[in-house]
Structure 1
Amino acid sequence: MKIFGIEFAPLYLPLKRRLQTLAVLFYVLLFLQTFSLIGFFLFIYLLFTKFYWLSLLYAIWYYIDFNRPYSGGRKVSWSKTWSIWKYFRDYFPIKLVKTVNLDPNENYIFAISPHGIMCFSAMINFATDATDFPSLFPGLEPHLITLNGQFYSPLMREFFMMCGACACEEKSLKYILTNKDRCKKKGQVCALLIGGARESNEAYPGTYRLILNKRKGFIRIALETGAQLVPVISFGENDVYNTVEVKNGSYIQTIQNFAKKYLNIGLPIIRGRGIFNYNFGIMPYRVPINTIVGKPIPVTKISNPTEEEVSKLHQQYKHELIKLFEENKSIYLTNKDAKLEIF
């Protein structure tokens, strides 16, 4: 049924389809900081009620626990097995593909591309067990590395840490990869979206435009810690929304650049589907996403790597990433002529 050009979903759909939509809606609202606003509102509201002591206790806890996202986080294993994540996975669906076995006696940086609009595959693959990470990579413990701002809100910080996520800071990655304190054993994985917020502005359907040429911090950390570097690419991540292409020098691009520079967020102009319709809203389209984990690049630990050593490993990583893309695009893409564009 269409009304004013909007195509509405049938009234009678299988329950599992409705639950899949609700699961993804939960994450979309999470990504759009809805729960951050709720967390801050509750914190302030309770201060003016007889339950003010709850906010005060949490404020003390927050102060004491402030550095936890930078020191290994606080994973709660059962949160990674919630049924909601399986419905989330099946909405698209999302699949995690292993190409080689990984040694649990090593630490790893999973360098993931592309960022996409809302990092759907990174969340489900590396912050939950829905795509069978534990059975695919036995002995490895993944930590999704996400923006520091996710750990400022009273509710958001606890939720992301429960899922094993940690802050995107040099000291955070080094804490995990050098096996300090809470991360004493080997087999630690930092799952890092290399392109960041800027790359989300380049997430056009059918394209793979990566912000990578000047991103060398993760390379230096790999060398300094001896962590093995693993190229990871998600086919379909950029296809879940219709993204409006922004012209160079336009007013919209100026706003995007401002948001990236001062707020560290991307502001892509997107069009998706709705909860009850197929062609208007903020929900992603049901497009398959396949995340391919490549073979690790051996890294020899160097306490103080030179720029030449960093650049050499960076070039090797780009070469392996392109190779991984080319070897798998014929399997997972309908456009066999697609190219990986690196900026």
Structure 2
Amino acid sequence: MNLFYQTYPLSFFILLFGFIIGIGISIVFFFSFSFTLVLFLVCIGCLRIMPMLNFLDIILTKMFPKQIKLFSKNIKTSFPVFYPKGFDHSKKNIYMFHPHGLLSLSHYLNIGTNLTNWKDRETNGTTLSILWWIPFGNELLESTNFVPSNYDDMKNVLLQNKSLSVTLGGVKEMALSQDNKMILNISKKMGIFKMALETGTQIVPILVYGENEIYKVTPNWLLKIINNYALKFNLFFPIPTFDSCYKWLRMFFEPLKIPVKTYIGSPIQVQKINEPTDMDIVKLRESYFMELRKLYKETRPKTYAKELFII
């Protein structure tokens, strides 16, 4: 995996912004032909971003070795992972991260990079399928072990005897982010539990304290209106505040003052059922909710609400 992209997780958004600016210049000076040509070349894979990132990797690691090493160390310190005693890393699991937060940063760092002490490297993460259609999205997401969040692609990961990770609350949970409180939009989820039963894969609950706090959405009235409308189409535009971005940039010099802690729960054993009924699925889901609440009770910081809210 490319070291530059591991070290600078937000590089994708910077490169995407540059790409959009470049397209704009093409339109102004070369009109629609240049725009169409560039877009076509990107779509068919003739224009790729990874070679450029590999080139930047070589340059930056030689120019700023100490800074990159310090940044990596600060990430590891800022995003610790805690496993229960006797956790078996050799087994195939479905890891469920909660809450989603604004950017689901802990999910990405643990699964898409080697910057944390996450121990199960044979894990594929999931992300919105629409992200695979934006310029270079497919190439970048595949390089960080992510797959589209559709049923067939996710199930295929498990059939390959690999682990799968999801942020179960999805896009709608992004709008529910609150400091020191977990509101999980998971009460009606069925598909992931059906998948677990069909493949006989054990489920592992994960709670991340600090995910909601690290990035906060910009309090803009127009953005709020846009997001309220976009949620109807399962979309949300997570534009963080300047203060949130500053927190991230400070990690080039020091770790976060309040670490974002990831707690892994005990696995829930799942018996394989080729054609599970709705009753089978609901029963497994309720068992999961019970284990999730237990994990919250055991790991909840004093500043957090006493109850875990599942809606």
TM over 0.5: yes
What amino acid is aligned across from residue 276 of structure 2 in structure 1? P
CA distance in 2: counterparts of 1:231 and 1:301, whole angstroms: 19
CA distance change for structure 1 residues 267 and 243 in 2, over 3 Å: closer, same or farther? Answer: closer
What is the SS of the residue equivalent to 1:109? strand
Q: Are positions 1:35 and 2:15 aligned together?
A: yes
Question: Take 2:181 and 2:202, find their aligned partners in 1: how far apart are those partners?
Answer: 28
CA contact (8 A) 1:109 1:227 kept: yes
Which residue, out of 178, 181, 192, partners 1:218? 192
Q: Distance in 2 between matches of 1:89 and 1:326?
A: 30
CA shift at 1:257, angstroms? 3.5
**Alignment counterpart, residue 157 of structure 2, candidates 169, 176, 189:** 176
Unaligned runs of 5+ in 1: 1-21, 63-75, 180-185, 279-284
What is the distance in 2 between the residues matched to 1:195 and 1:121? 14
Task: Find the counterpart in structure 1 of residue 275 from structure 2.
Answer: 304
The CA deviation at 1:58 is 4.4
- Residue number in structure 2 paired with 1:182: none
Matched, 1:101 2:75: no
* Matching of residue 132 in structure 1 with residue 117 in structure 2: yes
CA RMSD of superposed structures (Å): 4.1
Pick the aligned partner of 2:127 from 122, 125, 146.
Answer: 146
Contact 1:112 / 1:194 at 8 angstroms: preserved in 2?
Answer: yes
Is the partner of 2:44 in helix, strand or coil?
Answer: helix
**For residues 1-343 of structure 1, what are the structure 2 equivalents within 5 Å?**
26-28=8-10, 30=12, 33-39=13-19, 45=26, 58-61=42-45, 87=71, 90=74, 93-99=78-84, 100-104=86-90, 106-133=91-118, 136-137=119-120, 140-179=121-160, 186=161, 188-241=162-215, 255-262=226-233, 264-265=235-236, 272-273=243-244, 275=246, 286-329=257-300, 333-335=301-303, 338-343=306-311
For residue 85 of structure 1, report the CA deviation from its aligned partner: 9.1
Shift of residue 120 of structure 1? 1.4
Q: Contact 1:23/1:87 (CA < 8 Å) preserved in 2?
A: no
Secondary structure (helix, strand or coil) at the match of 1:238 reads helix
| 3-state secondary structure, aligned to 2:114 | coil
**Deviation of the 1:243 alpha carbon:** 6.0
Q: Residues 263, 39 of structure 1: CA spacing in aligned structure 2 closer, same or farther, 3 A cutoff?
A: farther
2:136 aligns to what SS in structure 1? helix
Would you say the 8 A contact 2:216–2:244 is kept in 1?
no
Amino acid at match of 2:99: P
Q: Deviations over 1:84-106 (max 9, x none)?
A: 597267257111111142252x4
- How far 1:56 moved relative to its partner? 5.5
TM-superposed deviation, 1:176: 0.6
**Whole-angstrom CA distance in 2 between matches of 1:276 and 1:119:** 16
Cα distance change, pair 86–193 in 1 and its aligned pair in 2 (3 A): farther
CA distance in 2, matches of 1:195, 1:245: 22
The whole-number CA distance in structure 1 between the counterparts of 2:219 and 2:276 is 39
- In 2, the alpha carbon distance for the partners of 1:256 and 1:163 equals 28
Give 1:203's aligned amino acid.
Answer: S
Between Structure 1 and Structure 2, the one with more helix by share is 2
Q: Aligned partners of 2:297 and 2:223: how far apart in 1?
A: 33
Unaligned stretches of 5+ residues in structure 2: 47-53, 250-255
Which TM-score applies when normalising by structure 2? 0.75
Number of aligned residues: 281
Q: Judging changes above 3 Å, is the alpha-carbon distance between structure 1 residues 251 and 217 closer, same or farther for their aligned structure 2 residues?
A: farther
Q: What are the Cα deviations for residues 300-338 of structure 1, in whole angstroms up to 9, with x where unaligned?
A: 111211010000000000001111111112xxx232653
Distance in 2 (alpha carbons) for counterparts of 1:53 and 1:245: 38
